[in-house]
Amino acid sequence: EYDGAAFIDKLASAPLLYQPATVWDYGFGLDILGLTIEKISGQTLAQYLKANLFTPLGMSDTGFSISAEQAARYAKPLPNDPDTGKPQARSPELTQPLKFECGGGCAASTAPDYLRFAMMLMNEGRDGEARLLGPRTVAYMLSDQLGPNIKNLIGNADPTRADYGFGLGLAVRTTPGVVKMMGSVGQFSWPGASGTDWWADPKEELAVVYMSAAPGPIRWHYRQTINALVYQAIVD
C-alpha cells in the first residue's frame, strides 16, 4: 500500500503505544531497519542482502521477488482457512512488484536456503571457511535484551513464543520450562508470518526449518506439534 517514504511518514504521524524501553510488543522495527540499511548503503534492501548474506551463504532461492520460472514452486495456502473458513491468500504476493522491500516479512526462501542461515548463526557467524559475522556480534544478537523491567508481550505476536526473551531480531529461550515449546536454554528462533518456522538449539547441535503456507491460527498448532516430534525423537 505504501512505498518506503510514505510508510515512514505514516508511522511517524502515529502516537506511541508505550513509552520507549518499557514494553516489547510486535511492531515495525525490522521494516524501519531495512529502510535504514537502504539509506546508509545506497542500495535496495534486496541488493544489500544479496551481496552481504544471500550470495556468501549460497542462498540462491532467497529474495524479495518470485520470477516466472520460480512461480510453480511458490507455495500457496489453501483457498480457505481450515480453522475459520475465511478466504486466505499469500501476503505479500511476490510474483508482483513490491512497493518497498520490507525487512519485517517481504522475502521468500526455501528450507535448504534458510537452514544455511540458521546454521551460520549457530556456528557463531561462520559458514565453512567464510565468516559473515564476528562471534561476539552473534553472541550479543542471541542474548536476551529485555530484562526484568520490560513488559514482555511476545505472546501477542506468536503464542508459541510467549515468555521467551528477545535478542536482536530473534526470540531466545531463557528457561528450561514455563514456555510452550520443548528445547534448551539458548535456543533461538523467530517464525515466519505465512506459517513457516525454524529454530536452532546449540546445546543439542540442532537446527530445524520447515516451510508451510498456513497463515491462519493453525500455524501455531503445527509449530508446537513439529517441535514436540523433533525433541521426542532424541533419545541419547
Number of structural domains (the chain) is: 1
Where in the sequence is the domain holding 35, given as residue range(s)? 4-13+22-68+77-232
Task: Determine the pLDDT at residue 110.
Answer: 96
One DSSP character per residue, 122-174 reads HTTTEETTEE-S-HHHHHHHTS----TTSEE-HHHH-GGGTT-EE-SSSEE--
Report percent pLDDT > 90 for the chain: 94
pLDDT of residue 236: 87
- Compute the distance between CA of residue 203 and CA of residue 56 in angstroms, rounded to an integer: 26
CATH of the domain at 209: 3.40.710.10
Check residue 51 and give its pLDDT: 97
Helix/strand/coil for 217:
coil
What are the tens digits of pLDDT across the range 107-150? 999 999 999 999 999 999 999 988 999 999 999 999 999 988 99
pLDDT, position 147: 87
Q: Are 219 and 212 in contact (CB under 8 A)?
A: yes
CA distance 132 to 138: 10
Q: Which parts of the chain have pLDDT scores under 70?
A: none
- Pairing type for strands 23-24 and 151-152 reads parallel
Q: Contact 135/4 with Cβ under 8 angstroms? A: no
Question: What is the per-residue pLDDT across 68-89, written as a single tens digit (0 to 9) for each?
Answer: 999 999 999 999 999 999 999 9
